[in-house]
């Protein structure tokens, strides 16, 4: 039975400061590091063959820290795609036995957090004073109303769900156990698809930082356990 594990990144330094983060690329806080390690301990006995993360450092830190708690001797390795005249083969593993001793880590912008537009970098209390608490609540908790120059949850799902269906699901169907480390809203979109949630249900869905959500995949069906 193939497995899928989802995990929201640990607390970031901007989460700690109560700032809208979105695509701003900030690292984990000390608490976030501990959350990532604890999340890893909770899945220490789960088999993992392939890891997907967003391109943002807080998700990648969480994935790597979580993997340090694994009993597996395999090493997670980020599979870079180089540009600007850098030869892609420079990161190639040539030793014949090493490829069987790694867990490929694939980064994808499609798994990035919801982009919060003009709210990014603003303290949430300051934003409420400027735009009004009701307006901030609409932007944060509605399904299809984006903040200025930002994304709604619906728009986030329009990039996240196709990536999950077209790139990740085929890997699971081939028998690979997959670990996805991403963000509150990109993971909400995926869970909306997996659990058949409606718009009202998905905006109420809360995902704790560093907490794994686990599914079995069997007979073309994902089942939470």
- Whether 12 contacts 32, CB under 8 Å: yes
Per-residue CA distances from 120 to 22, 25, 43, 77 (Å): 6, 11, 32, 30
H or E element that contains 179: strand 178-182
Backbone φ and ψ of 222, nearest 5° = -95, 130
Question: Would you call 34 a catalytic residue per the annotation?
Answer: no
Per-residue CA distances from 75 to 21, 112, 147 (Å): 30, 24, 40
Given 35, 113, 151, 183, the catalytic residue: 113
H or E element that contains 63: helix 57-67
Given 9, 35, 110, 151, the catalytic residue: 9
The token pair that represents 94 in the structure block:
């040539």
CA dist 190 and 197 (Å) reads 10
Per-residue CA distances from 124 to 37, 84, 210 (Å): 28, 38, 22
Of 214, 203, 205, whose CA–CA distance to 180 is shortest? 214
Question: Would you call 46 a catalytic residue per the annotation?
Answer: no
For the annotated catalytic residues, the residue numbers are 9, 113
């Amino acid at each position: 039975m193939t497995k899928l594990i989802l995990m929201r990144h640990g607390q970031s330094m901007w989460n700690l400061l109560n700032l809208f983060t979105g695509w701003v690329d900030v690292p984990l806080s000390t608490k976030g590091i501990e959350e990532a390690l604890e999340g890893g301990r909770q899945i220490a006995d789960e088999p993992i063959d392939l890891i997907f993360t967003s391109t943002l450092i807080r998700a990648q830190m969480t994935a790597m820290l979580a993997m340090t708690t694994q009993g597996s001797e395999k090493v997670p390795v980020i599979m870079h795609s180089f540009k600007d005249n850098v030869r892609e083969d420079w990161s190639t593993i040539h030793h014949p036995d090493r490829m069987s001793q790694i867990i490929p880590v694939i980064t994808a912008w499609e798994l990035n957090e919801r982009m919060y537009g003009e709210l990014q970098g603003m303290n949430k209390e300051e934003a409420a004073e400027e735009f009004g608490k009701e307006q901030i609540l609409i932007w944060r908790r509605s399904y299809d109303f984006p903040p200025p120059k930002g994304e709604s949850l619906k728009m986030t799902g329009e990039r996240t769900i196709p990536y999950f269906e077209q790139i990740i699901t085929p890997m699971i169907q081939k028998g690979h156990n997959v670990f996805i480390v991403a963000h509150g809203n990109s993971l909400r979109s995926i869970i909306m698809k997996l659990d058949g949630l409606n718009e009202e249900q998905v905006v109420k869905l809360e995902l704790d930082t560093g907490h794994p959500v686990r599914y079995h995949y069997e007979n073309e069906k994902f089942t939470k356990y």
